[in-house]
Amino acid sequence: MQKIFVNKKIELANTLPSEFYTYEKFYNLSKEKIFLKSWQWIDSNEINNKNKIIIPINILEDLINEPVILLKDNNNIKCYSNVCTHRGNILVEKECKLKKIVCNYHGRRFNLNGEFEFMPEFESVKNFPSSNDNLKNLPLINWYGLFFVGINPHFELSPILKQIEKRISFLALNELKINNDLSRDYFVNSHWAIYCDNFLEGFHVPYVHKGLNEVLDYNNYKTEIYKNFNLQIGFSKNKDQCFQFPKNHRDYGKKIAAFYYWIFPNIMLNIYPWGISLNVVCPINKSKTKVLFRSYVLDNSKLNNGASEDLNEVELEDENIVENVQKGINSSFYNSGRFSVEREKGVHHFHCLISQFINLK
């Protein structure tokens, strides 16, 4: 298998080769090497308001399609594999309330801790049961009502969320509420990584987003690189459209309209004065992507203002440009490009991580 190499020195580096975006083998390799080793957000708002409930979820159903269950018993929420350890049957097919989990194929039973309890007609089986007969318990993080599950994660998510929380702790995060009217799904005719490439730089803002460019101070646009995530800071031209930082905050006195966080490989947390726009990039195939937009609001009075004035318009502008890139990247005359040292640190960081994960043994 051909390896991917991206020089860690941005001033010397080339972008990912076009084959990464166009070859089926690299798309499939991304599933194995990147997404199965990642953390993924799961849509689970219903569980916050219910008790003693089990909800089946398929993680990235068009790529990984990993069946899991979220199980809430009082205030304790856990995530388990939704696959019976006997013959692989799906255990829970719809939201329900149960005292036990019983497979409807051969009657294998598990308790609400995912532990094997009983199996009929297995009296003669030796060395049974073992730990392999329990349901796989997946690491789950509940971050202010947003749920993230690790499939077989290659890095820790908690330190990342703690760093983000430290930066935005002046916001009343425990009051975040989903706004379904501002939440939607977009379908984009491009490779998932092309969409992420575009998100990870403000270089295109003056050319693609004329309206947003009137709000953001492009000359002060800043990118900060961290381990397995990065942050773009959108400074505003208008003080009235900014965060109101407390005096002890590191950004006090700065005119910041938005914090754009990205967590490898496909999670975006856009922090605005009104709350959080969560965007999740979900691959469908090597030339089509679904992007989930979920809006969690703290202050309705600050909606439709500043850098978030028309997120739908900005999204459609982004879709148009990434779909054009999807067409162009298939050209026989294009292989790779170079990075702007000043403006494309986030894209370079992303490409380095892809190289690192793809080359994992």
Residue ranges of domains in the chain, CATH in brackets: 41-141 (2.102.10.10), 156-358 (3.90.380.10)
- Positive or negative, the CA dihedral 242, 205, 231, 11 is negative
Tell me the two tokens of residue 57: 């979820």
Q: What is the pLDDT of residues 293-318, one digit of tens each?
A: 999 999 988 887 777 778 889 999 99
At residue 48 the predicted structure's pLDDT band, cuts being 50, 70 and 90, is confident
DSSP 265-294: TTEEEEEETTEEEEEEEEEEETTEEEEEEE
* Confidence at residue 242, expressed as pLDDT on a 0 to 100 scale: 93
Q: What phi and psi, each to the nearest 5 degrees, are found at residue 353? A: -65, -40
Residues in Cβ contact with 297 at an 8 Å cutoff, skipping those fewer than 6 apart: 176, 177, 178, 179, 182, 274, 275, 303
Rounded Cα distance, 339 and 326, in Å: 18
Place of tokens 């690790």: 150
Distance from the first to the final alpha carbon of the chain: 12
Top mean pLDDT of 52-56, 124-128, 180-184 is at 124-128
- Of the chain, the percentage scoring pLDDT greater than 90 comes to 88
Q: Which residues on adjacent β-strands are paired with residue 35? A: none
Contact between 315 and 8 (Cβ < 8 Å): no
| Angle (nearest 5°) at CA 304 between 301 and 309 | 150
Longest dimension (CA), the chain: 75
- In 3-state terms the chain splits into helix, strand, coil percentages (rounded to 5) of 30, 30, 40
Quick check: helix, strand or coil at residue 33?
helix
**Cα dihedral 45→48→52→56 (10° resolution):** 20
* Confidence at residue 2, expressed as pLDDT on a 0 to 100 scale: 65
Q: Indicate whether 337 pLDDT > 80.
A: yes
Q: Indicate whether 330 pLDDT > 90.
A: yes
Residues in Cβ contact with 241 at an 8 Å cutoff, skipping those fewer than 6 apart: 215, 257, 273, 305, 306, 307
Rounded Cα distance, 112 and 222, in Å: 47
Q: Indicate whether 1 pLDDT > 60.
A: no
The residue that leads in pLDDT, 265 or 43, is 265
147-153 mean pLDDT: 96
Rounded Cα distance, 357 and 56, in Å: 29
200-225 mean pLDDT: 95
Residues in Cβ contact with 265 at an 8 Å cutoff, skipping those fewer than 6 apart: 34, 35, 38, 196, 350, 353, 354, 357
Residues in Cβ contact with 48 at an 8 Å cutoff, skipping those fewer than 6 apart: 145
The residue that leads in pLDDT, 211 or 159, is 159
Rounded Cα distance, 220 and 235, in Å: 6
My answer on whether omega of the bond before 129 falls inside 30° of 0, hence cis, is yes
